Amino acid sequence: MRKNIRIKMTAAILMAAVTVCTITSCGKKQAADADNQMEVPIQTSKEATADQESENREQSTENMQTKVESENAVGVSTKGYTIEKIDGVTYVNGIMIVNKTYPLPSSYNPGGLSGQVLDAFAEMQADAAAAGLNIWIQSSFRTYEYQDYLYNMYVSTDGKAAADTYSARPGFSEHQSGLCFDLNSIDDSFTNTPEGRWVDANAHKYGFIIRFPLGKEDITGYKYESWHLRYVGEEIATYMYNNNMCLEEYLGVTSQYEN
């Protein structure tokens, strides 16, 4: 009887020990699980902080770039394009503009037509030749000094008011930009020649626009010149051609002398 009692007591003690051990182990496991669960938000927080710092750096870089890009801004056109002046040269939406409102510095001298302009013209000239037509550049780049000579010669012949309708004052001529040229006869006789009609219908395909188109005299400030081409690139030239626009209309700027 006593032996049985001792056996039962021993068993009870062992069961209690196992229970305590189990409880202790479970407590440790739960604590470990809790620790692991706590580590997740800590890691996420660190990652979020790193992401935020990266975002702040990117934003700072963007702000710095915007500041650099806008340092040359002098206004906004009626089309919402930024007007910038870089080393005295005016650009609207990245396009150089030279007219009665926006002159070039007297020192501006690219030395001739740009390579892009020459390449585009060579392609246009070859296609015209394939169609049995002959177009050539009669007048291209002009220095400030040469334009000064031409303008004053026209003033002495026709008077200032008349000269201002067909000749630019020195510094206000697109010829100084290296982006334009005059074709063939450089007069109204070119308009109705086969070459003139072909150029009018096809110049935009090569990136050129008729710079002073018919019916836009009050906007461009110059009479119609079918022979005067300006390079702006195929996409813009085609858009302007399809929408019957001059460069001033496309960019949303004026062309008027101050006096």
- Supply the residues annotated as catalytic: 225
How would you classify residue 54: left for phi > 0, otherwise alpha for psi between -120 and 50, otherwise beta? alpha
Of 179, 183, 178, 182, residue with least CA distance to 167: 182
Of 175, 148, 171, residue with least CA distance to 102: 171
Residue holding tokens 């580590």? Answer: 39
Distances (CA, A) of 207 to 4, 32, 123, 124, 139: 111, 72, 11, 10, 18
Distances (CA, A) of 250 to 51, 69, 82, 240, 247: 43, 22, 13, 7, 5
